[in-house]
Structure 1
Amino acid sequence: MLDRAEVKNKWKLTPLKNFKSPRLTERMWRTALVVLITSIIYEYPLEGRNPCFALIGAVYGVGSQFEEGFHNGINRVIGTLVGGLLVIPFYKLYTGQPFGIPGWVWLVAGVCLVLWCNFALGADSAIQPGIVIYFVVMFTVGKERVLLYTIARILDTGFGVLLTLLLYVLYPSKYDKAKGVSLKTFWAEINNAFRSYKSKNRTMRKKEHENFGTDDDKNFSFIISKIKKDKHL
């Protein structure tokens, strides 16, 4: 622990002295509103159905504008879909341990497959939500409920995200208003946002390769050229 005597002005260690309450932003009231609407829908029309994953999907879908909200939400939907579908067979493998293979081997194999599927779909940023649902089902749900629970959570997540996106077209942000976003253009906006989502993931993968792959590629090319040179000698 840091000794007080070593600190000339201990108040510099905390931001409380200069604390200012943040202003109420559009993102705050949108989040509060979509949580309220989702909670009411699940409490009354759906007769007390568990709203947890719908609320998570709804909050994920909130952004500064429609496109950002779609990107956040689609990450959650794709991740939940991939992780949820894959955890069903791997739960049985993990608990049953067929062929005498330990459960942890099946656990890791399932995680690797979740990663691979998200990469194959070009949804790199959906990996974390996918692995979250994988572990949630694997370790918190009884085996008699795995199938129905997982399918229900996938549907709930999609519903929450969809509800948030509908809120954006009914009450568009200033930026979305300028773009002409409305209920009539909903499917066109979905299409445009999905294209930009794929482009964003490709850009992320390219940057990741530039940051982490370039040196290895150069070293590999150098080794190959050296081997070829030694053969000629």
Structure 2
Amino acid sequence: MPEFPRSDFRLHVGWRNIKTSVTAMLVAMVYCLIGRNPAFACIGVIFGMGTDMPDSIKNGGNRLFGTLIGGLLSIAVFWVYLHFYPQGGHSMLLAVLLGIATVILILLCQYFWPGGVQPGGVVLCIVLYSTPVETYVSYALNRILDTTIGVIVALLVNYFLPRERVVALWEGFKKRIGAAK
């Protein structure tokens, strides 16, 4: 069992922390300016900002493909559900459909992107149990879009500002500041 709290912990704000927080903040500002809720784009940023590009691709891909598979699957399942109960409200059928959809989700993720099961399951459950009948399609599609934007922005920032480049820029900045004194 892991030790809690960790005895080797030391407080440290590193470049990944700074890149993640600044990128999430900028995405949130752009979303606020265009009148959209930034929550899922910012979640995409946070998932997509890894320690390096392979880590970013793995974690961002988990979020992106999980959301894509779970979102599209939730639309299909909700559509089936609404054929039987157009006004909604029959939770036993929805529970059975969720069970079937979870099996399908896991199989699709195993085929396309194995790490997408958890984020895909989250989207599936939220759409099926927390989205009004009138907006389930637009909600799922917007969630996919916003997650995609957040992950892509994180990947771009991590690609153009890898740790090595950021550290070199920072060291150069410190030298210039030191020389100016």
In the alignment, the residues of structure 2 paired with residue 169 and residue 15 of structure 1 have an alpha-carbon distance, to the nearest angstrom, of: 33
Q: Which runs of 5+ in 2 are unaligned?
A: 168-181
Superposed CA deviations along residues 3-62 of structure 1, whole A, max 9, x for unmatched, are xxxxxxxxxx9859x797511111211111111111111011x2x201111011110001
**2:114 matches 1:124:** yes
The CA RMSD over aligned residues, in Å, is: 2.7
* Paired amino acid for 2:20: T
Shift of residue 106, structure 1, vs aligned partner = 1.3
Residues 65 and 176 of structure 1 are in contact (CA less than 8 Å); yes or no, is this contact kept in structure 2? no
Provide the secondary structure at the position in 1 that maps to 2:40: helix
**Counterpart in the other structure of 2:67:** 80
Shift of residue 93, structure 1, vs aligned partner = 3.0
Query: RCO greater where, 1 or 2, for CA within 8 Å and sep 6 or more?
Result: 2
Q: Which runs of 5+ in 1 are unaligned?
A: 1-12, 178-233
TM-score where L is the length of structure 2:
0.78
**Counterpart in the other structure of 1:214:** none
Shift of residue 175, structure 1, vs aligned partner = 8.3
Q: Which has the larger radius of gyration?
A: 1
**Counterpart in the other structure of 1:8:** none
In the alignment, the residues of structure 2 paired with residue 161 and residue 107 of structure 1 have an alpha-carbon distance, to the nearest angstrom, of: 27
In the alignment, the residues of structure 2 paired with residue 103 and residue 79 of structure 1 have an alpha-carbon distance, to the nearest angstrom, of: 21
**2:43 matches 1:56:** yes
Superposed CA deviations along residues 117-147 of structure 1, whole A, max 9, x for unmatched, are 11122x1111111111101111111010011
Provide the secondary structure at the position in 2 that maps to 1:24: coil
Provide the secondary structure at the position in 2 that maps to 1:145: helix
Residues 82 and 118 of structure 1 are in contact (CA less than 8 Å); yes or no, is this contact kept in structure 2? yes
In the alignment, the residues of structure 2 paired with residue 29 and residue 60 of structure 1 have an alpha-carbon distance, to the nearest angstrom, of: 14
In the alignment, the residues of structure 1 paired with residue 122 and residue 111 of structure 2 have an alpha-carbon distance, to the nearest angstrom, of: 19
**Counterpart in the other structure of 2:176:** none
Distance 1:105 1:20, change over 3 A: closer
In the alignment, the residues of structure 2 paired with residue 127 and residue 30 of structure 1 have an alpha-carbon distance, to the nearest angstrom, of: 27
In the alignment, the residues of structure 1 paired with residue 43 and residue 138 of structure 2 have an alpha-carbon distance, to the nearest angstrom, of: 19
Distance 1:21 1:156, change over 3 A: same
Provide the secondary structure at the position in 1 that maps to 2:134: coil
Shift of residue 64, structure 1, vs aligned partner = 0.8
In the alignment, the residues of structure 2 paired with residue 131 and residue 104 of structure 1 have an alpha-carbon distance, to the nearest angstrom, of: 13
